[in-house]
Amino acid sequence: MKMFRFSLQRARNINLLRTQISALRSTRNWYSTATEPSSQHPKRVPILIGGKFINSQSSESIDVVNPATQEIVSQVPLTTIEEFKAAVSAAKQAFPSWRSTPITTRQRVMLKLQELIRRDTEKLAMNITTEQGKTLKDAQGDVFRGLEVVEHACGMATLQMGEFASNVSHGIDTYGIREPLGVCAGICPFNFPAMIPLWMFPVAVTCGNTFILKPSEKDPGAAVMLAELAMEAGLPDGVLNIVHGTHDVVNAICDDDDIRAVSFVGSNTAGMHIYARASAKGKRVQSNMGAKNHAIVMPDANMDSAANALVAAGFGAAGQRCMALSTVVFVGDSKTWENKLVERAKGLKVNAGMEPDADLGPVISKQAKERICRLIQSGVEAGARLLLDGRNIVVPGYEHGNFISPTILSGITSDMECYNEEIFGPVLLCMQADSLEEAIDIVNRNRYGNGASIFTSSGAAARKFQTDIDAGQVGINVPIPVPLPFFSFTGSKASFAGDLNFYGKAGVQFFTQLKTVTQQWKDLPSGVSLAMPTSQKA
């Protein structure tokens, strides 16, 4: 009897979900006013299942809050388990047809998508600034860096080419082909609402996979808009699906037997949980996590250009970048450099991202601001010198915003909490070393390995740094050495878990599996031989 009631209830849930899906409505009208906050009736962010945007039946939701004003922009429903299963089912059903679609046709969808993203860049940037807080100019860069991955995916036919060896034995040829995996999933962070989704699904689907995307619950709008553009570009129903939520839906992604691969960008705590849980289920996982990116500044570096680069890389996007330059190691005297950094940082304008004069906007939440302020204070209490304190800033007209202005601490040592933790805010830490060798040793002893840079006019110093530094992405007179998509994002050490990195050749390899075919077309000799086949002529 209990089983009957359970089956009846499950049937009712499925029928209810089908009713939802049939009651379709486009999100274009929904998102035309998505950046207009309403505290009385906030709009609910839709989910995407089988090519249809629908309202979730979940009674639980999370407010999407404008970090500059604290106004509620929208509400994100926590996708129900039935809705999640429906999204996976839609992706699974769409896979056979999509994988059989010619690669040239899949490329044309990406060609159209990049055109549509260019068309709607301003709308996407406006939504990002409203939900995430970064300046409009920075939000446009967010979109553009993702767009470059879409452009790269337009050449998938070449990227996905296999290998061929003729006549490996007498009359036998062997070739390898790259085939899609099936249903894949992506779990996104809050700091790049457009770029990170575009790191994930364009490469995956152009390889022939179908995809489940979980945007950040803090700023899901851009991902939904990008999905809408992908459908407008011709992506078939079910190839891309969107679910929302936190721990429960993340665990569901890790556990579902029909999902073959998981991409993640975010914190180390979440990233290692996802890597362990999904890997235990036999899935491929690529997990980009925390960072503590260093720059070594040599005495011969150009002071003006290096100082400008350090300030831009340290405080841009309010420090909320996994490649933000958070720590500077000065070789030799640091006082002149520190004075120059303070001078430059004081000239930056902190304001709401919508304001045209803003250099940096707020951090994502009040909790994030509290954590950043706590880490700054921990440095002061441990003996660091506070050269510039941005904790008490109040922005006129945005008094409730989550603002922190540029902050600089000097006298940092490697045992301080503010050094060992990723601050993820507009805070620059200054250290000192007596030699290049000592500076390299400081960087290499840190557990993170996303990126590291050197500023110098010496080719010999640059070459030594390039060879000896233990970081995945190296900059020489470049503060944020993030490669363009024809290379891969190659974080290492505690900054990455997995075997294959994001985008570039590694990204294509991550979303495909290699199949090797050995073929023979000739009249076979009579008789049966049970000996091990070899390439030697009998």
Of how many residues is the chain composed?
A: 538
Closest CA to 223 of 117, 312, 378, 346: 117
Count the neighbouring beta carbons within 10 Å of the beta carbon of residue 25: 12
Count the neighbouring beta carbons within 10 Å of the beta carbon of residue 53: 22
Longest dimension (CA), the chain: 91
Joined tokens for residue 92: 């699974």
Please state, in angstroms and rounded to a whole number, the distance separating the CA atoms of residues 425 and 365.
11
Pairing of strands 427-433, 407-410: parallel
- Cβ–Cβ < 8 Å for 72, 226: no
Sheet holding 72-77, edge to edge: 43-44, 72-77, 61-65
Joined tokens for residue 304: 């003006």
Please state, in angstroms and rounded to a whole number, the distance separating the CA atoms of residues 514 and 503.
17
Closest CA to 441 of 300, 329, 301: 329
Closest CA to 284 of 125, 502, 127: 502
In SS3 terms, 349-403 reads as CECCCCCCCCCECCCCCHHHHHHHHHHHHHHHHCCCEEEECCCCCCCCCCCCCCC
- Cβ–Cβ < 8 Å for 45, 220: yes
Please state, in angstroms and rounded to a whole number, the distance separating the CA atoms of residues 516 and 120.
42
Q: What is the DSSP letter of 155?
A: T
Summarize the chain as % helix, strand, coil (round to 5). Answer: 40, 20, 40
- Residue of 154, 207, 322, 418 with catalytic role: 322
Q: What is the distance between the terminal CA atoms of the chain, rounded to a whole angstrom?
A: 70
Please state, in angstroms and rounded to a whole number, the distance separating the CA atoms of residues 345 and 407.
8
β partners of residue 62 = 76
In SS3 terms, 270-301 reads as HHHHHHHHHHHCCCEEEEECCCCEEEEECCCC
Residue with tokens 């700091």: 191
- Any catalytic annotation for residue 188? no
Which residues are tagged catalytic?
A: 322
